[in-house]
Amino acid sequence: MVNVKYPEVWDLDVFFPGGSASPQLIEHIESLTPKLEVLKEKVDKFEVPQNSDAALEIQSILESIKEVMLHISQAGAVLSCLTAQDTTDREALLLQGQLSGIAANSSPILESFNQKLGKIDQATFKALLETAELAQFEFILTEWREKSKESLSEEEEALISALGVDGYSSWGQLYNMLIGDIKVEVEVDGEKKLLSVGQANNLSSHKDRTVRKAAFDALEKVFTEREEFFAKTLNHLAGFRLAVYKKRGWDSVTKEPLQINRMKQETIDAMWGAITSRKATFAGYLQHKANLLGTEQLDWFDFDAPVTDSTATMSYHDGAEFILKHFGRFGSEMESFARTAFEDGWIEAEDRDNKRPGGFCTGMPLSEQSRIFMTYSGSMSNVSTLAHELGHAFHTYALRPVHPLNRRYAMNVAETASTFAEMIVADAAVEEATTEQEKIALLEDKIQRSVAFFMNIHARYLFETRFYEERKKGIVSTKRLNELMEEAQIEAHAGGLGETHPHFWASKMHFYITGVPFYNFPYTFGYLFSLSIYAKAKEEGKGFEEKYMALLRDTAVMTVEELAMKHLGEDITKEDFWLKGIALCEKDVAEFIALTSK
């Protein structure tokens, strides 16, 4: 037997031996119902307190919530690993259904607890937070209480959730059906092919311009034919959301996403303000790329076009060594953590059939381990993905000393550690590139990301805020949706865009996600926030790691404004902060233009 240093197949048996047929896993899921009953009993018995004597009782409820939460997460994580490694694992899918049914029963219990927190008078609440039992929960208890105060009554909120099953989230599901049903006819290399929307989108990086254009035209055509269905879906989904906001007395459509992401409107405005002020650089890159491709302006379908044909590869073993070496330059904890992940079977990387596409990282909170899923086929972008997911796992690792209820960070900071880790590896790859073509390809990869976050995502944000404002006044027509989208794209690309993609509002799934509203700006936030931390780390060298881990530990117990002030000494409601991260991306553009102008 050969001695494999870094196994490419993960170990799930340490959690529940035997995969989806594991009796321990089934037992674990079945044990959730009695755990929920215990919690429900405690919450039902809990009466709105009049003094701080209730601290012990609240602490006991929090411990029950923790218990339920950790067990649900553990089972959910293992099941998502099982279904990802083998999409034909029926047993795992069934168990997943069973688990989400049980997990859904926890929401009304938590809602009821929050409502009771909301009814505590301010002085008593303050006294409670000062007790030894509850001091560490100040942030989340305050957050839950504030949320319940801004909600309707318990009965009304329960009614909204019940009606939302058919009247809200089902619009999102209908969207998935509509998009899944589409077949796009595209001619590739003289052969007519029927493709899914995802497959047709993948042709956007095809080296042949006629193929890229054909795929784009075919998509626009298909969405034009079906635009009324998509417009109706989007209008009703938005209409339901707005009706709920109105009942709750919320004026601004960004109130909910800001609350979820624990941030202020000023911060988003400062971020977009800073980006907008530096857009000329990126519009310049788009124009330069158009010149390289021999076209007048960069059209939508040319964005992902390759400018070189570099195909550098790296074996899994070498990729692992590369990551370890460069993580090590930033800190010994990060390196030794990644070594454990590589050696102990935390990573599923093998290229084989029946695996789900894409990559993810998930934590197993009861075991204090993580698992990373991806398919490694040797490209440099695979190495980046691997580093990205290891970054997520490192975030979870950094949070280990923290109470589980204080580990639930929002999406905008979720990508901090992952982007940070990815950046280390992407930068190192550019530095160590052996040929100029490879260097150009790697640099462009980095710039593409900046363009996506600064321009594409900005267009989504502009479109969505404007669409929701208009939707308040009534149904928005398809013609108007197309106009709004084109305007947003032209504005967001600052003159760097040729042909627009007017039906992007129909093709992009993010506008139809009901679970998370405004699924756009947190991406850009996470990217730039992480870049500024990365810039600091480069300045300070190895000594920065301790500070970095302290920042990660605080990601779920304060607002992002407080987080940046406490750990970086930065005011992120000001454009100055954001400009520093953008400057790093501008350097990439300058280097790319210099290398490709010879």
From the number of C-beta atoms within 10 Å of its C-beta (0-12, 13-18, 19+), residue 563 rates as buried
**Could you tell me which stretch among 178-186, 349-357, 416-424, 482-490 binds Zn ion (CB under 5 A)?**
416-424
Stretch 166-225 residues interacting with Zn ion (CB under 5 A): none
| Minimum CB–partner distance for residue 387 and Zn ion (Å) | 11
Contact, 405 vs 137, CB < 8 A? yes
Question: Each residue of 346-381: b (16+ CB within 10 Å) or e?
Answer: bbbbeeeeebeeebebbbbbbeebbbbbbbbeeebe
Q: Which is nearer to Zn ion, 227 or 389 (CB)?
A: 389
Question: Pick from 58, 201, 122: which is nearest to 506 by CA?
Answer: 201
| Minimum CB–partner distance for residue 498 and Zn ion (Å) | 31
Show the DSSP H helices in 264-379 as ranges.
265-277, 279-293, 316-328, 332-343
**Which one-letter DSSP state was computed for residue 372?**
E
Q: Which is nearer to Zn ion, 384 or 478 (CB)?
A: 384
Rounded distance between C-alpha atoms, residue 402 and residue 363, angstroms: 14
**Which one-letter DSSP state was computed for residue 363?**
E
Stretch 293-322 residues interacting with Zn ion (CB under 5 A): none
| Minimum CB–partner distance for residue 389 and Zn ion (Å) | 7
Q: Which is nearer to Zn ion, 391 or 502 (CB)?
A: 391
Q: Which is nearer to Zn ion, 414 or 565 (CB)?
A: 414
Q: Which is nearer to Zn ion, 278 or 395 (CB)?
A: 395
Question: Pick from 521, 495, 531: which is nearest to 256 by CA?
Answer: 521
Phi then psi for residue 105, to 5 deg, are -70, -15
| Minimum CB–partner distance for residue 388 and Zn ion (Å) | 6
| Minimum CB–partner distance for residue 420 and Zn ion (Å) | 11
Q: Which is nearer to Zn ion, 69 or 413 (CB)?
A: 413
Q: Which is nearer to Zn ion, 418 or 450 (CB)?
A: 418
| Minimum CB–partner distance for residue 393 and Zn ion (Å) | 11
| Minimum CB–partner distance for residue 373 and Zn ion (Å) | 12
How many amino acids of this chain bind Zn ion (CB under 5 A)? 1
Rounded distance between C-alpha atoms, residue 584 and residue 586, angstroms: 5
**Could you tell me which stretch among 51-59, 110-118, 413-421, 425-433 binds Zn ion (CB under 5 A)?**
413-421
Question: Pick from 421, 515, 497: which is nearest to 459 by CA?
Answer: 497
Residue 193 parent element (H or E): strand 191-195
| Minimum CB–partner distance for residue 284 and Zn ion (Å) | 29
Name every residue whose Cβ is closer than 8 Å to that of residue 117 and which is 6 or more positions away in sequence: 125, 141, 144, 145, 148
Contact, 248 vs 256, CB < 8 A? no
Q: For Zn ion, which residue has the nearest CB?
A: 418
| Minimum CB–partner distance for residue 415 and Zn ion (Å) | 5
Q: Which is nearer to Zn ion, 418 or 489 (CB)?
A: 418
Dihedral, 123, 126, 130, 131 alpha carbons, nearest 10:
70
Question: Pick from 394, 392, 388, 385: which is nearest to 314 by CA?
Answer: 385
Which residue in 96, 418, 456, 478 binds Zn ion (CB under 5 A)?
418
**Could you tell me which stretch among 84-92, 414-422, 478-486, 573-581 binds Zn ion (CB under 5 A)?**
414-422
| Minimum CB–partner distance for residue 52 and Zn ion (Å) | 41
Instruction: Tell me: does residue 362 bind Zn ion (CB under 5 A).
Output: no
**Could you tell me which stretch among 141-149, 295-303, 410-418, 589-597 binds Zn ion (CB under 5 A)?**
410-418
Residue 413 parent element (H or E): helix 411-431
Name every residue whose Cβ is closer than 8 Å to that of residue 571 and which is 6 or more positions away in sequence: 561, 564, 565, 577
Q: Which is nearer to Zn ion, 281 or 520 (CB)?
A: 520
| Minimum CB–partner distance for residue 361 and Zn ion (Å) | 7
Q: Which is nearer to Zn ion, 389 or 588 (CB)?
A: 389
**Which one-letter DSSP state was computed for residue 254?**
T
Q: Which is nearer to Zn ion, 151 or 418 (CB)?
A: 418
Name every residue whose Cβ is closer than 8 Å to that of residue 134 and which is 6 or more positions away in sequence: 55, 58, 59, 128, 141
**Residues in the site for Zn ion, rule: CB under 5 A?**
418
